Amino acid sequence: MSFFAALTAAAQAHFGEKPRLVVGIVVDQMRWDYLSRYYDSFGPDGFRRLIDQGFSCNNCNINYVPTVTAIGHASVYTGTTPAYHGICGNNFYIDGKKTYCCADSTVQPVGSNSPKGQMSPHNMVATTIGDQLRLHTDFHSKVIGVSYKDRAAILPAGHSANAAYWLDLKNRCFITSTYYMESLPEWAKAFNKKLVEDKEFKKLGQDIGLSPHCGTITTDMAIAALQGEQLGKGDHTDMLCVSYSQTDVIGHKYGTRGQNTDDAYLQLDRDLARLLKALDDQVGRDNYLLFLTADHGAAHNWKFMQEHRLAAGPWNSGEMKERVYEALENDMGDGRDCIADIMDYRIFLNWDKIHQQGLITADMPHMVLNEVTKELDVCFAAVYSDLATSALPPLLRDRALMGYYPGRSGDIIFFPKPSYYEFGSWSSPTGTTHGEWNPYDAHIPCLFYGWKVRHGETSRTVSITDIAPTVCQMLHIQQPDACTGEPITEITE
């Protein structure tokens, strides 16, 4: 065989090789430094197996704002940012109406009668890894999403997924919607029957998200889906998307420090070990490609920071809104209801009210901006339409642009001082929240493990949007249709 013929044969063999299964894991609200904080407490078969035998990107960052759950999950799997995939918050506005990211009144719940089942990925305008995998195999590959949260199951799995399952707390079961199917498969019905009798679940009731046991149930369901759908057993590569949400619920309530958070991560470590063993047993230790990351991190509790003489503090969007109203009334004699909402450090103007009151619409965003910049705890602010030419520092400007989807993202964005955050519905006095550009919210774990992944690490800067193109290149399939990330060459070469 000639040299060139040998090269051709090697390339053909490489392109023909595929893992039997791809597994994506997102840990909600997991800061990157938790890997080292808990390393000595982790057992050998969970996180440490991924760290010690896999590849770690130690400087993986989120390259947009706001850093919230729905956006993070969509960005991991589409390989792009809200500017392209359209999921610009857990909630956002469409045609002036506040909209939940996955709400879909055209579908019905399956598995219960709860309106929580009226969900689908229809608001996401880009494809995912799973969509591209399904396209590549003429829809023979199976793609399944599993999570406590609906958005964390639905958005990763994508538009063409075979199923996404999320937890209905009221009825104590996993459900889906008619977007995917008309009735639950038998294995899911059997799982739910056992779940109803789960003693820990019964005891915790609606507070299951505040318990590490929520992660155990999510793992059980993921394993049930793995086995029930025989993932990794067919002729084509399948995909399982798993998201752990209890870490986020616990973080919002109890913060980044303390026994509750410690217990959550140590139990998650044990649950990961069980999931990895199930994957080993089902498809073989070297036959699946796995990645683990987070949708965002979290700030340390502001009181905790102040107790240690570190600059931090709370602010309240409702109070800021009242101050803006007061200033506008002094200047204009009106403007009381000109703000529809303040979410994720963005201001959504109420254009219907502004027009009804006959206010000067062209100047209104700048008039509000002028008041916002007077806030003591706000470092920078800009009108979205002015971003490209604004005086924001380049990093903030670029992340704001990448997080902006016209018609959905609002009118004004602002940036609090480091370690200052919204103190309200998403954070208790002892808890925390997220959403900002700072490393505590934007620096996340990024671990690859398994099929064709060598052991190692890099401190080169990579982005949350680089995960999808890395997986797609390893599978030799096309990247998602709005992908802006780049393959992580330390893993693909």
Instruction: Please say whether the beta carbons of 404 and 411 come within 8 A.
Output: no
Please give the backbone phi and psi of residue 459, each rounded to the nearest 5 degrees, phi first: -105, 5
Of 67, 69, 218, 237, catalytic: 69
Distance CA 82, CA 94 (A): 14
Cα 451 to Cα 77, 161, 234, distances in angstroms = 19, 23, 17
> What is the spatial order of strands in the sheet that 443-444 belongs to?
443-444, 60-61, 462-463
333: DSSP letter: S
Is 389 assigned a catalytic role? no
Element at 458 (helix H, strand E): strand 456-458
Q: For tokens 């006959």, what's the residue?
A: 358
Residue 442's nearest CA partner among 462, 425, 417, 412 is: 462
Q: Name the H helices within 38-149.
A: 47-53, 69-78, 82-85, 129-136
**Cis-peptide into 82, omega within 30 deg:** no
Instruction: Please say whether the beta carbons of 76 and 448 come within 8 A.
Output: no
Radius of gyration of the chain (CA): 23
Where in the sequence numbering do the catalytic residues fall?
69
